[in-house]
Amino acid sequence: MSKRPQSEEGRGARALALDILAAASRPQGKPVEELLAATLKRQPQLPRTERALLLELVQGVKRWELKLDYFLSQLAALPLKKLHPLVLLILRLAAYQILMLDRVPARAAVHQAVAEAKARRLPAAYGGFINAVLRRLAAGELPPLPERQAGLALALSVEYSHPAWLVRRWLERHGPEQTEATLAANNRLPPLTVRVNTLKTEPLTLVARFAREGVEARPCLLSPVGLHLSGLKAPPLELPSYREGLWLFQDEAAQLVSMLLPQATGRLLELGAGRGGKTTHLAELSGNNELILAMELHQGRLRELRGSLSRWGASAVQPIRADAACDLPLKDGVMDAAVLDAPCSALGILRRHPEIKTRLKEADLATFPPRQRAMLEAAAAALRPGGHLLYITCTGEPAENQELIESFLGAHREFRLGTDPELLPAAARHLVQPPGWFCTLGAGDLDGFFAALLIKHQ
């Protein structure tokens, strides 16, 4: 694959999008979200329209990659797997613009794709190949989708751009109607939802502040500390209210899940703290008065966690680098509560992270439960009698959720399931179903989260 140009200055959204997609496709490549953030940080002068187009192109191509590849495979004279990787990415970018973006003229997309191949010093024959494939697409020569009668899983896989193995699993578990509804929901753009920092302000006060910054904000339906944003005219992270630590982006489901932990629980252990979304919320819920040990293994996330805590004013949190699947740097029975935000298949947040659809393989699913169980065992050992353990994932896979918790409870008679819907706002209590599973998958315009609260006997 060709090298990225030495300098990005003055380069447009299409070229930058190709850089990001190429970098993400390499072995051990970083997720596109990280590459996007890094590119935008290096491009502070990129016009707002170009920034928006860059985000649209990168996320759009990943969201519809499987469907784009189906159409391209029907029109190309060569199998896609035999193409130069950069040629395939150029084709995907142009096909997305032709098929999905009304504001981009088809002729311009074809011309840009050929020019990009030349700029990347690809062999001249590729330019003609790209031009021939895309001209057919631009002319409306669209191959028909697979017939549902011939195979529902394959047809839905192509139509909604999800891997066929995943569609088959969901069809077996949920049936055609719910599966198709989930596939469609995963392809819709999620709302811009933020959580208010109640250590510094209140929701209605922040609504007024947003109005002064030219942003429309309205309260969420379920979370009392959530707001939906619209009408943004500038990058949101450049707003003074963000820099002052008055809010952060967080889906309503992620906001609600932290509320399942009873307040005033004393010393709290958080495993898998990540970048601090739930950590900061836990600090708020405890009034920033209780010690929180926030453990995270990855150094980059730990740096972001420290930055989030500083901006948020969450002084009661102590970040620690540790592998929560191994022996923790703690004595047994010393913590009053624990929150395990377990690493998971993340199939409940595909609408926010569409790249998962092509990065995750079916065989990967078996790798999550052993690590989740190890982290659960470590959190359980750290708890005192009478302590609370909140287990969280962002997937709907039973092996990572209900089955894992039931297996743990079967081996640990000192724990019981005690998820209390009364801890949630009244409008959200229906999300806790017997015998005590909090689940938001398919429950309105929410990310798909699972949670269960376990209580250690006195």
Residues with a catalytic annotation lie at 394
DSSP 262: P
The whole-angstrom separation of Cα 415 and Cα 202 is 37
Half-sphere exposure of 99 (CA within 13 A, CB side): 22
Are 71 and 99 spatial neighbours (Cβ–Cβ below 8 Å)?
A: yes
The whole-angstrom separation of Cα 153 and Cα 173 is 13
DSSP 401: T
DSSP string covering 110-172: HHHHHHHHHHTT--HHHHHHHHHHHHHHHTT-PPPPPPGGG-HHHHHHHHHT--HHHHHHHHH
Q: Pull the structure tokens for residue 352.
A: 């926010």
Strand pairing class (247-249; 192-196) = antiparallel
Which residue's entry shows tokens 């969201």? Answer: 63
Are 323 and 359 spatial neighbours (Cβ–Cβ below 8 Å)?
A: no
Rg (CA), the chain: 24
Residue 1: C-alpha distances to residues 21, 82, 88, 122 (Å) = 12, 13, 11, 9
The whole-angstrom separation of Cα 96 and Cα 60 is 7
Q: Pull the structure tokens for residue 396.
A: 């709907």
The whole-angstrom separation of Cα 311 and Cα 192 is 20
Under 8 Å CB-to-CB from 414, ≥6 apart: which residues?
Answer: 385, 456, 457
SS3 content of the chain, % helix, strand, coil (to 5): 50, 15, 35
Phi and psi at 173, nearest 5°, equal -85, -40
The whole-angstrom separation of Cα 269 and Cα 370 is 21
The whole-angstrom separation of Cα 321 and Cα 299 is 7
Are 59 and 98 spatial neighbours (Cβ–Cβ below 8 Å)?
A: no
